[in-house]
Structure 1
Amino acid sequence: MSCEGIEVSFLFFLPHDTPKMYQMTFLAVANLFALFLFSSPSASVDTDFFFSCLIHNFPIPLTSLDGILHSPDTSSYSSLLHFSMQNLRFSSPNLKPQLIITPHTESEVQASVFCCKQHNIQIRVRSGGHDYEGLSYASTTPFVTMDLMNLTRINIDTVDYTARVEGGATLGEVYYRIAEKTSIHGFPAGVCSTVGVGGHIAGGGFGMMSRKFGLAADHVIDARVVDVNGRVLSRDSMGEDLFWAIRGGGASSFGVITAWKVSLVSVPQLVTVFTVSRSTKKEAIQLVGRWQYIAHQLHDDLFIRVIFEANQGENRERAIKVVFNSLFLGPVEELIPGMNEKFPELGLKDRL
């Protein structure tokens, strides 16, 4: 579930009645087009002029940008760059951002976007770091990285069961805050707690409850986006076309998403999880083959994912290991009979 690599550029609009297949094709072309436009060579960042621009455009008077702006000669730069870098292939010095911006407020995001546009500087936005292609922290074109790590506020409304989540929060933080307020609601998103919400939802947001509730993006009811001109847009002001695009379109061409408002879903207080692994080649192949035929027949409350691993077997030969991870929205007493009927080959048993 890679996320977080988004660029600020132009906005593209489609009519609501455009067929879904053509909508997605257009978005793909639009994203590539925008990437092309912003990939043209730009001048190196003149830090003095950029500092001056930020100081004059920040919402409160500033005499120092310590804690907000980090250049390669500051002590914080290296740790900020690497703390969530998932792919060290992109750690080459010539691919690194010339500046790292860590805004604390939406207004600081606005000022940063405005100054980047004024100085023709490409922006790469990071909201968690699970970006295995390095889109948020590597480029051959001079750029700055805007890391939303300080925008992590989460508010859970237990009246209408919605959540307002800032773009730098992680999935783990969202789940934790929900659990603090309610034991019968959840949010259908990914399994990795350190994935950033901003990029995860913008890319759709697939998870262990997707068979029951769909994608995380399906539960977005509002958003706040800073566009290329530094304007803050909500659902009402951005319009339904852009609102549709940011919920799964990758957000790579649409702006900086500073916050999402999402609806929570009802879940039982007791759920069941299991992990079953098989390393015998023949058995593993047979189980995967069987799983492919019956997965769609399982109850929507049950999600099973398959992970393939390469292990070193006897005589130092490579061996395939297959791992079945599952979440069932209910007690084990309800899970076992269904599994024995649809997937007895897995040999699932109640060990409580």
Structure 2
Amino acid sequence: MAVSTRMALLLTLCVLGCCVFAPSLAAPGDFLQCLSSSVPSERVFTPSSPSFTSVLVSSIRNPKFFTPTTVRPLCIVTPTNASHVQAAVLCGRRHDVRVRVRSGGHDYEGLSYRSERPEVFAVVDLANLRAVRVDRVAATAWVDSGATVGELYYAVAKAAPGLAFPAGVCSTMGLGGHFSGGGMGMMMRKYGLSIDNVLDATLVDANGRLLDKEAMGSDLFWAIRGGGGGNFGAVLSWKIRLVPVPSTVTFSNIQKTIDQGAASAVTKWQTLAPALPEALSIRVIVQNQQALFQTLYLGGCSALVRAMSSLFPELGMTRADCREMSWLQSTVYINSGDIKTPVETLLNRTTSLSTFTKNKSDYVKQAITKDTWDKIFPWFNGSAAGLMILEPHGGRVGSIADADTPYPHRSGVLYNIQYVAFWTGNGTDGPDWISGLYNFMEPFVSKSPRGAYVNYRDLDIGENTVVGGVTSYDSGKVWGESYFGGNFERLAITKGKVDAGDYFRNEQSVPPLLSRK
């Protein structure tokens, strides 16, 4: 950690370490007045501010969460340093205004910037906290939560050629939320999830203290690495381990239609992909009754074609299917499909509000039969606006114990499924389609509980109820064990230790458990 940051941390601990909060019934105006003494006015946007709407929309990815009936924040705080975040928490505690923390806005239920119920809350938007500080010699980096996946990839590759980081394929995701839930990506079978490569972090807790790994303790540091965003505090920065990549990697897109044996290929892929050499990863996108096999190999084309010819001849891969490039180029190519797309597009944070979406997720532990895949493909009949993304596990992901991080979907998991429906306007075809497909898939996916990925947050599987001023543990278990399995109780106990008053709270936040059941 930089000297100046560590000095600020120690000073904060000294000043705030014995801070005690008493309940208050002050009006929201008192919260704004409190903020004004510590946060510059140009960093706080209220609904009367000319830029309020543009700042709010800047990280909204789904138009269904930007309507006249959306419960909007009392204000948006856009901090440029840790003290601004601390002030928001301290003022919020003092004046009964909760804060929701947004790093990129990709949360699928929009809980970082809206509420399902009438409530007074503020948003702390970390978009201005986006620095990436690479230590090439140590093969580490400190990255702020407001940086995007694309900004991290670009900064690492430019500062330290030959090094990379395992994270997701969507370049506009904010790293704070992505890391908080786990962080799946194309290199996870080789190097693990993003959270498996987090070495340290700085966090503002519910008492306004700025803590690093040593100060927060092992339980809290464990919890923030996969326990979901918005639960334990505002994580401002992460120290990550960078990983080696060769100067040339190979990417391939091969599409198979039903008539070309797509169902048979996906059937074989289920058990093959998790067992492949870790330098070789294949994910599948099912759409329009076709299967797109996206392959990343940490090596050259010739070796990839030989391996695929032996291990997965059903794809019929040839040299013509290969595209050799740098690792950085591959993070662009996976979305663009064009080798000429400049890597600088990774720095573009702009997204569109034109398409409504709904997402759900599953985990598969036993391969689905060919007969069942023959029934799944017709759900994608060309008119249905939706897709299914299959992400292989195994490798490094599966070699880590389920309890080592809050992410429990490791041992015995073949792959994750993400379902995506999209539509325009006020139609119901998308929601009805994804609900029907999700119900159809129930017999073929993990059970007791049916697993789900917290970074694909889904309020359909349950919402919190509040009893006596804090979130009910029993209501949290309904959705929490789907996301976290047997780790949910430990997360709740940790929450009880660090935020017993349940200050950081939303519709699917971890409840505080003050004693074991």
TM-score using structure 1 length: 0.80
Residues 223-265 of structure 1 show CA distances to partners (whole Å, capped at 9, x for unaligned) of 0000011000000100111101100111432100000011101
Match of 1:186 in 2: 164
2:211 paired with 1:230 = no
Q: Distance in 2 between matches of 1:260 and 1:82?
A: 26
Match of 2:311 in 1: 342
- State the SS of the aligned residue for 1:272: strand
Match of 2:35 in 1: 54
- Gaps of at least 5 residues in structure 2 are 1-23, 323-517
Is the CA contact 2:149–2:168 (under 8 Å) kept in the aligned structure 1?
Answer: yes
| Residue-pair matches, total | 295
- State the SS of the aligned residue for 1:239: helix
2:259 paired with 1:274 = no
How many angstroms does 1:115 deviate by?
Answer: 0.8
- Gaps of at least 5 residues in structure 1 are 1-41, 311-319
The 10-residue stretch of structure 1 (82-91 or 142-151) with the greater mean CA deviation from structure 2: 82-91
Q: Distance in 2 between matches of 1:45 and 1:178?
A: 45
Q: Distance in 2 between matches of 1:221 and 1:78?
A: 37
Match of 1:17 in 2: none
Match of 2:464 in 1: none
Match of 1:71 in 2: 46
Q: 2:106 aligns with which of 130, 139, 162?
A: 130
- Distance change >3 Å, CA 239–CA 282, structure 1 → 2: same
Alignment of 1:185-334 (within 5 A): 185-280=163-258, 283-310=261-288, 320-334=289-303
TM-score using structure 2 length: 0.55
2:65 paired with 1:96 = no
The 10-residue stretch of structure 1 (169-178 or 285-294) with the greater mean CA deviation from structure 2: 285-294
Q: 1:108 aligns with which of 62, 76, 84?
A: 84
Letter in 2 for 1:56: S
Residues 285-341 of structure 1 show CA distances to partners (whole Å, capped at 9, x for unaligned) of 11111111311231110111111223xxxxxxxxx1221112111111111111011
- State the SS of the aligned residue for 2:248: coil
- Distance change >3 Å, CA 71–CA 334, structure 1 → 2: same
2:141 paired with 1:157 = no
Q: Distance in 2 between matches of 1:110 and 1:188?
A: 30
Letter in 1 for 2:57: H
2:63 paired with 1:85 = no
How many angstroms does 1:282 deviate by?
Answer: 6.4
- State the SS of the aligned residue for 2:292: strand
Q: 1:118 aligns with which of 94, 98, 112?
A: 94
How many angstroms does 1:123 deviate by?
Answer: 1.4
| Higher relative contact order structure (alpha carbons within 8 Å, sequence separation ≥ 6) | 1
- State the SS of the aligned residue for 2:32: helix
Moved over 3 A (4+): 42-45
Is the CA contact 1:86–1:129 (under 8 Å) kept in the aligned structure 2?
Answer: yes
Q: Distance in 2 between matches of 1:79 and 1:120?
A: 26
How much is the aligned-residue C-alpha RMSD, in angstroms?
1.7
How many angstroms does 1:51 deviate by?
Answer: 2.7
Is the CA contact 1:85–1:131 (under 8 Å) kept in the aligned structure 2?
Answer: no
How many angstroms does 1:276 deviate by?
Answer: 1.3
Residues 209-234 of structure 1 show CA distances to partners (whole Å, capped at 9, x for unaligned) of 00000011011111000001100000
Letter in 1 for 2:184: F
Q: 1:177 aligns with which of 140, 155, 169?
A: 155
Q: Distance in 1 between matches of 2:124 and 2:279?
A: 38
How many angstroms does 1:43 deviate by?
Answer: 7.9
Is the CA contact 1:45–1:98 (under 8 Å) kept in the aligned structure 2?
Answer: no
How many angstroms does 1:179 deviate by?
Answer: 1.1
- State the SS of the aligned residue for 1:146: strand
Match of 2:437 in 1: none
How many angstroms does 1:160 deviate by?
Answer: 0.5
Letter in 2 for 1:153: A
Identity %: 45
- Distance change >3 Å, CA 51–CA 122, structure 1 → 2: closer
Q: Distance in 2 between matches of 1:296 and 1:209?
A: 12
